[in-house]
Amino acid sequence: MKIYVNKYIDEIIQNHIINKEEKISNAKHALVRAYLETEHHGLGTFTITDMPFPNDMRAFLHELNAAGITEMNLCDKSTDLMSSLHFLLLDGWAVKEPFAHLNPHHGLQGLRMTKTS
């Protein structure tokens, strides 16, 4: 049983990946990847471990909004993290608190973020 469920992302998976109705955009691919990783880690909050490239960020932020995501864990460790954080802050996201999910198999650390506008 899934802990975190998002109908919008489930529809993307059904339409673009299972039914292969049309090619999936990089932004939707990043959204689906984060959704599946959230499930893999057994988390109840949408969690991103690998943000998209800067040229896909505006479309990715649009997809986050379309999915109705208003809280997430940002656990990206890439060298472009600061750029991603700037995009999120400009889109109305705010850092809520530090986040850590530690277990023997895979630990995550990052920031819990909320959509403020």
Which CATH number does the domain housing residue 24 bear? Answer: 3.30.110
Q: Yes or no: say if 47 and 72 are a contact pair by the CB < 8 Å rule.
A: yes
34 inside domain: yes
* First CA to last CA distance, the chain: 32
Please give the residue range of the domain that contains residue 35: 7-115
The answer to whether residue 29 is domain-embedded is yes
For the chain, which residues score pLDDT lower than 70?
1-2, 104-105
Is there a contact between 12 and 31 (Cβ–Cβ < 8 Å)? yes
Residue 26 lies in a domain: yes
Helix (H, G, I), strand (E, B) or coil at 107: coil
Q: DSSP characters for 1-35?
A: --SS--HHHHHHIIIIIIS--SPPPHHHHHHHHHH
The total of structural domains in the chain comes to 1
User: Which residues touch 15 (CB under 8 Å, ≥6 apart)?
Assistant: 21, 22
Residue 2: inside a domain = no
Token pair, residue 75, equals 């656990």
